[in-house]
Structure 1
Amino acid sequence: MVDKSVYSCQHSITSIKIVLRTDMSSKRQLLISTAFKLFYKKGIHAVGINEILAESGVAKKTLYNHFSSKEALLLAVLQYRDEIYCQWLQSEFDKADRGVAKIDALFSALDNWFNDRTQVLALFHGCFFINVSAEYGELNSLIHQQCIHHKIRVESIIREAVKTLTEDPERIAEITQTLCYLKEGATVKAHVQGDKKSALNAREIAIKIIS
C-alpha cells in the first residue's frame, strides 16, 4: 500500500527544487542581461558590482553564488552577446537569396543596427567586443580570447554566405576577408565618428569589388 502522505511530501520537495532552480536560473540571466546593458553603455571599468546589483535588484550573495568575480560575470556577458549577435546575423543572411543578395543583406543589417532599428541588439554603442578588448588588451587573457572567438565565429558566418556567391576557395577567402574588413571599418566609423551611413558606403565598395 502506497503512503500517499509520503508521496505528497516528496512531490512537494521536488516541486520546490524545480522552482528554486528556475529562480536561480532567472536571477543569473537577469544579472547577465543587466550587466550587458550597463557595460555596453558605460564601459566595463566604469561599472561596479554595486551598480549592477542596484539595477538588477539581485542580492550580492546571489551574484557570487553564480559568479566568482566581475571578470567571471563579464565572460558570461560576452557569451550572451555573442549568441544574440550571431543568431541575429545568421537570421539576416537566411532571409536573403543567394549570391550578391547575401552581401547586400549584411550591410543592410548593419545599417539598421547603426541607426537603432534593430531592437534585439539594443541601442548602438559600437561593437561590444571591440570595446571590451580595448579595456582588456592582453591577448592571452580569457576575456580578450572570448572577443577573438566572437570575431572568428562572425567570420565563419560570413564565409558561409559568400559560398553562395562562388565555389572558388581562393575567391571565397578573398571576399570573406574583404567583407570582414569593411564590416569592422564601418562599425568603428559609425561609433567613433557618428557616420550613420558607413554601412551603406561600405556596401557600395563591397559590390564594386565583387562585381
Structure 2
Amino acid sequence: MSDKRVLLLNSALKLFYEKGTGAVGINEIIAYSGVAKKTLYHHFSSKDDLILAALTLHDQKYLQWLEVKLADVQTNEELVKHLFHALNDWFNDRVTELGGFRGCFFINTASESVTLDRQIQDRCARHKVAVRQLITNSLPQPNDRLVDALCLLKEGATVAAFVQGDRQAALRCIDIALAHDTQAPFPV
C-alpha cells in the first residue's frame, strides 16, 4: 500500500471515528492529511469507497486487538473476564491502537443514515459477525447461548459507555455473563 494511501486512510478513519462519516467531507480529509485531492481520488473513487476502506481498516485493528485479548484463555469464565476487562480498557481510553473511545465505529456509521450505501451497511454487519465468530472460536467450552449473551452484553455496554458516559458498563457485564453461563437454558 502506498504511503499516500495509508496517510489518507488513517486520516479518514481518525476523522470519521471522531466526528462521524456524514459530518466529515473530502475537503476536511484532504486538509487534515495534507494530500492533494487528485491523489485522494487516485486511491479512492468516492467518499463511500473511502468509508468502506476505513471500516475495513478499523475492522482489522479491532479484531487483531480482541484476538490478542482473548488468546490462551482456559475456561469460559476466563474468556468472559478477559472480554469485558478489554472493553473496559477501551472505554477508558487505554487502548492506543483503537484511538480515543467514541463508541462503536460500526454502530455509529450504520446509524448515521437510513440511506447509507448498502455496501457500507453490509460492511458494518460483517464486522459484527466476525466479532461473534472470534468470541465463538475463543470459547474453550462451546456454548451458543453464552455467545449470544456475550455479544448482546458487549453491544449494550459499548452503547452505555458512549451514549450515557458509563465507562464502567463493561465491568458490570462480568457478573451478568457469569450468572448466565451457570444457569440452565431458558424454557422455550
* Interval of TM-score (by shorter of Structure 1 and Structure 2): over 0.9
**Superposed displacement of residue 207, structure 1:** 1.0
Which of 78, 84, 92 matches 1:115? 92
Residue equivalent to 1:55? 32
Which of 123, 141, 151 matches 1:165? 141
* Residues 71-150 of structure 1 mapped to structure 2, 5 A cutoff: 71-138=48-115, 141-150=118-127
How many angstroms apart in 2 are the aligned matches of 1:120 and 1:207? 28
**Superposed displacement of residue 161, structure 1:** 1.9
**Superposed displacement of residue 95, structure 1:** 4.8
Residue equivalent to 2:174? 203
How many angstroms apart in 2 are the aligned matches of 1:136 and 1:30? 27
How many angstroms apart in 1 are the aligned matches of 2:93 and 2:80? 20
Query: TM-score, length-normalised on structure 1?
Result: 0.83
**Superposed displacement of residue 153, structure 1:** 0.2
Q: Percent identity?
A: 47
Give the letter for the 2:180 counterpart.
I
Give the letter for the 1:63 counterpart.
L
Tell me the alpha carbon deviations over residues 49-76 of structure 1, each in whole angstroms, 9 at most, x when there is no partner.
1110111010111000011110000000
Going from structure 1 to structure 2, the CA distance change for 1:95 and 1:138 (only over 3 Å counts) comes to farther
Give the letter for the 2:157 counterpart.
A
How many angstroms apart in 2 are the aligned matches of 1:116 and 1:209? 28
Greater C-alpha Rg: 1
Question: Which sits farther off after the overlay, 63-72 or 132-141?
Answer: 132-141
How many angstroms apart in 2 are the aligned matches of 1:138 and 1:182? 28
Alignment partner of 1:186 is 2:157: yes
How many angstroms apart in 2 are the aligned matches of 1:91 and 1:59? 37
**Greater fraction of residues in helix:** 1
Residue equivalent to 1:68? 45
**Superposed displacement of residue 139, structure 1:** 8.0
Query: Size of the alignment, in residue pairs?
Result: 182
In structure 2, runs of 5+ residues without a counterpart are 183-188
- Report if aligned partners of 1:100, 1:165 keep a CA contact under 8 Å in 2: no
How many angstroms apart in 2 are the aligned matches of 1:117 and 1:47? 25
Query: TM-score, length-normalised on structure 2?
Result: 0.93
**Superposed displacement of residue 138, structure 1:** 4.8
In structure 1, runs of 5+ residues without a counterpart are 1-21, 167-171
How many angstroms apart in 2 are the aligned matches of 1:34 and 1:97? 39
Residue equivalent to 2:186? none
**Superposed displacement of residue 204, structure 1:** 1.3
Question: Which fold has the larger relative contact order, with Cα–Cα distance below 8 Å and residues 6 or more apart in sequence?
Answer: 2
**Superposed displacement of residue 98, structure 1:** 3.3
How many angstroms apart in 2 are the aligned matches of 1:119 and 1:143? 25
**Superposed displacement of residue 96, structure 1:** 3.4
